[in-house]
Structure formats: structure tokens, C-alpha cells
A and B are shown apart, each in its own frame.
Chain A
Amino acid sequence: MSLCVLENVKKRYLIGEEEVEVLKGINLQVEQGEFIAIMGPSGSGKTTLMNILGCLDVPSSGSYVIAGKEVTQLNDDELSVLRNEHIGFVFQNFYLLSYATVLENVLLPTLYMERSRDGFTRKRAKEILGLVGLSDRAKFKPNQLSGGQQQRVAIARALINDPDLILADEPTGQLDSKTASEIMDLLSKMNQRGKTVVVITHDANTAAYARRTVRILDGLIVD
């Protein structure tokens, strides 16, 4: 069964008086365990698509089913729960809470779980920090870390709730090529462990890690 199924998804934004169609009828299936790169020029609608895939936003029309749920039928709270349980985001600018420690940042998604066992989640957070190679940085603040380290924290945060889908929007955009390849290696490793990964990128080197590349142009998937 597919993890994500998009059928004729359109997204329109109102800019002033004018309505602009950013996604013009996307059809896409993401299978469990896939590693997909979404490529396309700036302004083509990649981030918009990712927001919809990640249930941060909903389609203006069309249908999107994730984990068996039709997203257009869900209310705001249900979307939040869906994000919490099924999706992990990795952003270009890391987006860590500056006043929280590395460990607290990693634990952030567990705060909003319905049921959370403190001891268990802390143990799990430490394991995951080990996995991304930051065991000795748990008490640090984000501004005491390098860009690559911050992005690892973000990846650890994306993994903590054991989501089905990891969505990464330009995860290497702020990093030099060596650090970028480390981050992509990490995402590949997660994919090998069974996570479905979708990476949005401009960069062919980054896209090369994926097993499938989807090209988007002006709001439509091409070829």
C-alpha cells in the first residue's frame, strides 16, 4: 500500500485580489520505504508541495491520502496529530528552538504526543542523538553548534516519534559540500532502516542519493 497518494492536487493562493495557482494538478504516489528527490527551479512549487505532503497545509482541491487518511476531511487538531505521529520535518534553516538545549529540541515532538513516557522518550532521544553522532552535545544550545551539527539535531528531532515519512526541504542548502554529503549519508541510513524519505533540492549531488527523482515545473510534475 502506498504511504502517500496525491490525485489532481491543486493549490491556489490569494495574493491581494489575484488568485495564483501554485500547484496545478499534482498526481504522485509515495511508496513505503522510498527515497525520493523532488527537483525543480525556484518558485516551481516544491515547498508548497512539501507543506501539503507534511499536512502543514491542505490542498485547495483534489485528494491527498496519507496513512489511509483523506487529509481534506481532517480538522486542524487531527492534522496536528497526523504530523505528530507520521511526519518528521527537516528544514533548510534547521529551525531549532534557540533557548532549548539539544536534548530538549530533540524531545520537542514528544511533548505533543497523547501518551508519552518520560523515561522511555529520554532514553530514546539519547539513542537517536548517538545515531546522528551528537551524544556528547545533549546539553549544548543550538548556537554552540556548527551548521552540520544543527541539522543533525533537526534530523534527530524528525526521528524521535518514529514517523513514517521524513520530509526534508533543502536540507543541505546552508551547508558546505562535505557536511552536505554527511547529512545525506545520514538520511540514506535512515532510509535503509525503513524510513520513507522525501528530499527537496536544487542540487544534483543531493538528488543523487535518492532512488527516484520527481521533477516539478511551474506547478506540475513533468515526465
Chain B
Amino acid sequence: MGRLGRILRQSVMAVRAFKLRTLFCVVSVALGISSITIIVAATEGAFKKAFDMVALFGPDALLVVSGSDEARAIGKREKTLTLEDVQAVKEAFPGAYVVAPSTSMGDVTVAYRDKKYQSLVVGSTSDFSRAWTWPVVEGSDFTDADIRGLRNVAILGSHVVEELFAKEDPVGKYLFVKGIPVQVVGVLSDRGTTPTGQNLDNRLIMPISTVMRKMQNERKYISVFRVRFVDQKKLSRYEEEVRLLLRQRHQLPEGVPDDFRIISPKEIIKFLAALTGSLVVFLGIVGVISLVVAGFVLANLFLLSVKERSKEIGIRRSVGARRNDIRLQFLGEAVTLTTIGGLIGFVSAIGGSRLLTLIADFPIHFSWKAFAVGLLLSWFVGIAFGLQPASRAANLEPIEAIRT
């Protein structure tokens, strides 16, 4: 072992010997590092979640929703978008490879034999699967003939299948939707829940024409429509153009707010950032404060330790330790302590975040990044706050040190 290694081993020996000092330093560093680790993990989790959500939503997609923001705020569901609007967008944007209208009805009773299920019925065109990148895993998607012919056919969300068909193959079976017999033609893949906790697999898709005419007695208005563009980079510009086109079509004078809302991937990220932001700020403040406190605890305990151990320093100097050897030893002690604190902090961060996710559904993602940030910070604290005491130890004159 080289000289460096031999001296660092002395550091480890001292860390083991001065147990009370070790305990206080480790605990205070662990507290700081664990909250900072959680922040890093939460930020990463939020990013990952945002990424997942954008991927789910479609990074190249816009969703245009009927109704003004005010109406939505008071829970009113007014329908302002029309099938003609959809047609107009389709014609105005050759760069859009999907323009798919859809309309929906909540809490519709769906029955198969003696079983009943409250489902969300979504009317869509034959583009549904493509519009949402949501594959039909059994049976098939609608055909244009289904739409044009107002046929009574349905594609089921996976949860609907689970609830109504125990082990049977649903494809080809008939069920009753609002009392109307409807034949199942396909089943959608699992989609899970949205970040806001909404089950996405509880829906039943039918041709939009069937839903509008036969169930809603509606010929014109729809709930939402999706647009997907070939060139994802121009999405912001497209968004603005769609907005202007719809305002013009709805004859909204300047100053009047939109009577629709366009949801884009950017907006999803904003929403998530707001959700995560406050907790990150809170933990950030806690983390930085506790790390600084840990640093001062360390520095003070080390200054005390240097005083108490001046004889040891004198002995080491008398057998040939140079100033730098003493400095290295004490710095090594500090960094060893903060490293242990950092590791314990990381482990307790994992535990703490479990608790956090129990209280609130909060995206937390641990990776080597969170680990590395914690470790680097603990080293930083060790060096930054250990350097002064270590230098004080190194600068003791040998005879002064040994006389005390």
C-alpha cells in the first residue's frame, strides 16, 4: 500500500474510534443528502413521467376540445366544435396525417347477458387507433363502411372486457349499449390510468356516426378532435394556425376568448411541472439548509476533535508526519464520514420516497444520477467543511501540539 493509502487507513481507524463524533456527523449528513436525493429523483421522475405522457399523448399531436375555459371551469360541457370544423382543418392542413373527430358520453350502461358495466362511450372514426396510437389487439378496427353505414359495432377497452367477459372471447358477441344491440369487433390494448388517476381502459369505442345519430340525436356537434402532423417540429406553428382557423370559423371577434381549447404536449409538461414544482422547491430548501447545517456540525465537531487530539497530532509529527499528511488524514476522516452519511442518506431517501408515494401519487425515479449527485455532494460537504479543521491540525507546531 502506498503512503496515501496508509494515511487514509488511519482516517478510517479514527472514524471507527471516535464513535460519537461519527454518529453526529453521519446522521446530519444523511439527513441533508437524503432530501437532496429525493429532489433529484423527483425531478427525474417528473421528467420521465412527462416524457411518458407526451409519448402517450403523441408528441406530434394536438387535441382540440369543445367549450371555452370559463364554461369548463363551472363544469358546463358545451359543444362548440362541428364536423365541418374537422373537415375544414383536414382541408387546410395537408401536413396533418390524422384528423379524427370524436364525441363521448359518460356513464353509459353496457350489458352483456346478466352483467352490467358503467362505461364511457366514445364515438370515433376509423382513424381511432391511428389517432391515439392505441392498437387493437384482438379483432379489428372499424372500417369506413362501419362509419358510413352507422353500424352498431364496438371496440372494447381491456377493463370492459374483464368486467363483462370472464373467459369468453368477446369478438363477435353482442352486447347492449343503452338498450341498443351492438356487436363487438375488436379489443384495445391495455392503456392504464392517466396521471390524474383516470382509468383509460373503461371505454367502449363505436363509430361516431352511430353514437351521434342513434344515441345523442346529434348531427353537427362533437366533443373533441385530434390532429397529428407529419412534421412534429412545426407543432407550435400549427397550433396557432388551427386556433386562428377555428376562431375565424366560429366568427369570434377580437377580444372574445376562444370557445375551444387546444391541448398540446407542451401543455402537458407545464401541468406536470406545476405539480412537481412546489414539492421540489420545498425539499430543495430543506435539503440545502440541512446540508449546510450538517456542514457546520461537521466543522465544529472536527475543530473540537483537533483540539482534543493535539497530542496525537504531535506524536504523528514527531515520528515524521508532514503537515500534508496530517491534513490528508483529517480530510480523509471528514470525507469518510460524509460518504457514509451520503450512502445512508441515499438508502433512507429510497425509503422516504416510498412513504411519499404512499401519501401522494408522485413520480419518483431513482437512478445512478440521483446516487451520483448525492455522493458528489457528500464529498463536497466533507471537503468544504473539513478543510479548515484539517488545516488547523496541519498547522499546529509539533512542540506545541505535544506539550498540550
Contact = CB atoms under 8 A, between A and B. Distances in A.
Interface in A36-95: 51, 54, 56-57, 76-77, 80-81, 83-85, 89, 91, 95
A22 B254 CA distance: 97
Given A108-B315, A111-B10, A114-B3, A95 B320 contact: no
Given A111-B7, A114-B3, A97 B312 contact: yes
A120 interface: no
A77 B323 contact: yes
A108 B319 contact: yes
Nearest to B329: A111
Interface in B80-116: none
Contact of B318 (A83, A96, A110, A114): A83
B320 A83 contact: yes
Residue of B6, B317, B318, B398 with highest tally of chain A CB at under 10 A: B318
A214 B311 CA distance: 29
A95 B311 contact: yes
B315 A95 contact: yes
Contact of A77 (B18, B315, B322, B402): B322
Interface string B183-209: 000000000000000000000000000
Interface in A80-127: 80-81, 83-85, 89, 91, 95-97, 99-100, 104, 108-114, 116, 118
Contacts, number: 75
A81 B320 contact: yes
A152 interface: no
Contact of A112 (B14, B311, B312, B322): B322
A140 B320 CA distance: 24
B262 interface: no
Contacts of A80: 317, 320-323, 325
A99 B320 contact: no
B320 A116 contact: no
B402 A116 contact: no
A31 B161 CA distance: 103
Nearest to A110: B6
B398 A157 contact: no
A85 B318 contact: no
B56 interface: no
Nearest to B321: A112
A108 B325 CA distance: 12
Contacts of A110: 6
Contacts of B312: 97
B399 interface: yes
B318 A89 contact: yes
Q: How many interface residues does chain B have, given as a range?
A: 20 to 34
Contacts of B402: 56, 91, 95
Residue of A56, A85, A96 with highest tally of chain B CB at under 10 A: A56
B1 A118 contact: yes
B398 A57 contact: yes
Contacts of B321: 80, 111-112
B316 interface: yes
Contact of A111 (B6, B16, B324, B398): B6
Contact of B319 (A51, A57, A109): A109
A39 to B, nearest CB: 21
Contact of B322 (A76, A91, A99, A104): A76
A157 B1 CA distance: 20
Nearest to B315: A95
Given A84-B320, A85-B320, A109-B320, A97 B315 contact: yes
A157 B285 CA distance: 51
A116 B319 contact: no
A179 B257 CA distance: 101
A96 B314 CA distance: 11
Given A99-B14, A100-B13, A118-B1, A112 B399 contact: no
B17 interface: yes
A76 B321 CA distance: 10
Contacts of B10: 111
Given A56-B398, A100-B13, A112 B319 contact: yes
A108 B322 contact: no
5 contacts: A95-B311, A112-B316, A112-B321, A112-B325, A113-B3
Shortest 3 CB-CB distances between A and B: which pairs?
A84-B320, A99-B17, A109-B319
Interface of A: 51, 54, 56-57, 76-77, 80-81, 83-85, 89, 91, 95-97, 99-100, 104, 108-114, 116, 118, 157, 161
Given A51-B399, A91-B402, A97-B315, 14 more contacts: A54-B318, A56-B402, A81-B322, A89-B318, A97-B312, A99-B16, A108-B315, A108-B316, A110-B6, A111-B3, A111-B321, A113-B3, A116-B6, A161-B319
